[in-house]
Homo-oligomer: A and B are copies of this chain.
Amino acid sequence: MDLEPIPEIEPGQDIPAIFEPLCAVFRRRLKSDGQKYTPERARVLDSVIRMEGAFEAEQLVADLRESGYRVSKATIYRTIKLMQDAGIVQRVLGGDDVPRFQMIYGAKPDDTIVRVDNDEIISIDIPELIELRDKICAKYGLTPSSHRFQIFATGEKKS
């Protein structure tokens, strides 16, 4: 491919600073495995960073296609897998059963109530959880990057 050369840290133009280390994380991980940070992989990472919240693999395909970068589906899936290995994204399920991915690093916490009787998803905000998780991680000598709290509930009181 004849894309421009890859800068040392290629965060794209309008990517929040919080995501900048991501690129470095990915590059480091690839390098330590004897793998390369190619233009295609940079494009996929770029696209992932731009996604808001959870996204489907197919959205990456579409997004990259729109951007004019023809990255093959196979490469996209392969790159997603690499990013999973690098701890950058994870696979998740929403209320529907569509498999999606979401960023781990820099992701904002995801606290929800899932109505198991009608698939409704209610976002809630529980600041206490952050200190709770930090406390727990400290006990294990780990550094938390994000968390996810799902409550499964039914609506007895209302339909």
A interface residues, Cβ below 8 angstroms from B: 84-87, 90-93, 97, 99, 104, 113-117, 122, 124, 126, 128-129, 132-133, 136-137, 140-158
Contacts and interface: CB of A to CB of B under 8 A. Distances in A.
B157 A153 contact: no
Contact of A126 (B104, B113, B132, B150): B132
B147 A151 contact: yes
Nearest to A97: B91
Contact of A136 (B148, B151, B155): B151
Nearest to A138: B157
Contacts of A84: 116
Contacts of A136: 113, 124, 126, 151
Contact of A146 (B132, B140, B142, B152): B152
A54 to B, nearest CB: 12
A149 B148 contact: yes
B153 A150 contact: no
A150 B136 CA distance: 12
Given A93-B91, A113-B136, A152 B158 contact: no
